[in-house]
């Protein structure tokens, strides 16, 4: 929370493989997760994808750079507004993001002309501009989602929307912009104003519009072991099938992360990651018997 723009921060440097949450994940049947910086900053830093088993994060990594975190809405606005500095408004958040993207464009032009020096902040921005990695943007309210899509178009970026709480209000519009969406953590309270429209109805509404959807617990907001629980409640609420919910935490999630050729379904050539349950996974009483990662029993 010391600077609103920190693209050079790397999540990999802040991960403790001995965190109990990794065991909780395996116990809940979760084999693969994306870990990213928080949403206090307009640009928060690099993220990565890891398997939930191991004691050296470098060896757990599936992809050491899976995207750049950005955030809109109340979080950056309140954090820096409370300090009396930009961004204090939604306009300021969008302007801060645009400014850094333009700096990145200028940096790439200088490099191409043989005049640039290495800059860690702009180096990662350059990867986003060249569409080597996606910009993964925290956005709850519909106007924030629209701003994200506006910036996507302006800079021709690959973008995913994280949370998308009011996505059901503009589902058809989102569908026009070729983005993947991660919804959640819906199994939590409406703790701030921008969550006032939160509900399980967002998932079927986006699905009906043709938007690729996955479910997130946003651990530790909802603990990671409740990913399956979230899928159960999505179905229980109605209008969302078990098949859709299962895809939202398996193959759709893998596609969201860009690793569907490695995980997300049980197929020849993919990692041997799978879970054995003692009953129907959509029954809350069902327990995980064994969790496998790369063909090895890591729980059970």
pLDDT for res 234? 98
Residue 230 located in a structural domain: yes
Residue 267 located in a structural domain: no
Residue 266 located in a structural domain: no
pLDDT for res 154? 98
Q: What is the CATH number of the domain that holds 184?
A: 3.20.20.140
Which residue, among 253, 280, 281, has the nearest Cα to 31 in the 3D structure?
253
List, for residues 80-103, the tens digit of each pLDDT value: 999 999 999 999 999 999 999 999
Q: How confident is the model at residue 54 (pLDDT cuts 50, 70, 90)?
A: very high
Contact 183, 152 (CB under 8 A): no
Residue 280 located in a structural domain: no
pLDDT for res 116? 85
pLDDT for res 166? 98
Residue 180 located in a structural domain: yes
Check whether 277 has a pLDDT greater than 90: yes
Q: What is the mean pLDDT of the chain?
A: 97
Which residue, among 68, 100, 91, 140, has the nearest Cα to 4 in the 3D structure?
100
Q: What SS3 state is found at 162?
A: strand
Residue 248 located in a structural domain: no
Cα–Cα distance for residue pair 144/202, rounded to 1 Å: 16
pLDDT for res 258? 98
Give percent above pLDDT 90 in the chain. 99
Rg of the chain over Cα atoms, rounded to whole angstroms, equals: 19
Contact 102, 151 (CB under 8 A): no
Q: Can you give the residue range of the structural domain that contains 114?
A: 11-243
List, for residues 126-160, the tens digit of each pLDDT value: 999 999 999 999 999 999 999 999 999 999 999 99
Residue 214 located in a structural domain: yes
Report which DSSP code applies to 223.
-
Does residue 220 have a cis bond before it (omega within 30 degrees)?
Answer: yes
Structure tokens, 55: 């004691």
Residue 223 located in a structural domain: yes
pTM of the model: 0.96
User: What sign does the dihedral 78-80-86-87 (CA atoms) show?
Assistant: negative
Structurally, the chain folds into a number of domains equal to 1
């Amino acid at each position: 929370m010391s600077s609103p723009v920190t693209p050079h921060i790397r999540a990999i440097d802040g991960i403790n493989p001995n965190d109990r949450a990794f065991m909780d994940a395996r116990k809940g049947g979760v084999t693969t997760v994306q870990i990213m910086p928080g949403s206090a900053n307009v640009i928060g830093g690099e993220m990565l994808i890891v398997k939930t088993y191991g004691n050296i994060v470098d060896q757990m990594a599936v992809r050491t750079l899976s995207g750049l975190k950005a955030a809109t809405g109340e979080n950056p606005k309140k954090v820096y507004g409370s300090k009396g500095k930009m961004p204090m408004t939604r306009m300021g958040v969008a302007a801060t993001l645009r400014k850094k993207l333009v700096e990145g464009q200028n940096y790439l032009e200088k490099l191409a002309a043989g005049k640039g020096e290495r800059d860690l902040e702009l180096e990662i921005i350059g990867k986003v501009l060249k569409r080597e990695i996606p910009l993964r943007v925290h956005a709850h309210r519909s106007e924030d989602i629209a701003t994200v899509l506006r910036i996507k178009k302006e800079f021709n970026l690959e973008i995913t929307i994280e949370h998308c709480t009011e996505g059901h209000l503009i589902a058809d519009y989102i569908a026009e912009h070729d983005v993947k969406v991660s919804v959640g953590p819906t199994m939590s309270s409406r703790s701030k104003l921008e969550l006032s429209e939160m509900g399980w109805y967002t998932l079927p509404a986006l699905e009906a519009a043709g938007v690729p959807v996955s479910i997130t617990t946003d651990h530790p907001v909802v603990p990671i072991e409740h990913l399956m629980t979230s899928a159960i409640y999505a179905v229980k609420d109605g209008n969302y099938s078990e098949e859709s919910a299962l895809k939202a935490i398996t193959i759709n999630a893998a596609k969201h992360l860009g690793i569907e050729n490695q995980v997300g379904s049980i197929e020849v050539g993919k990692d041997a990651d799978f879970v054995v349950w003692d009953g129907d996974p959509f029954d809350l009483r069902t327990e995980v018997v064994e969790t496998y990662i790369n063909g090895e029993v890591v729980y059970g």
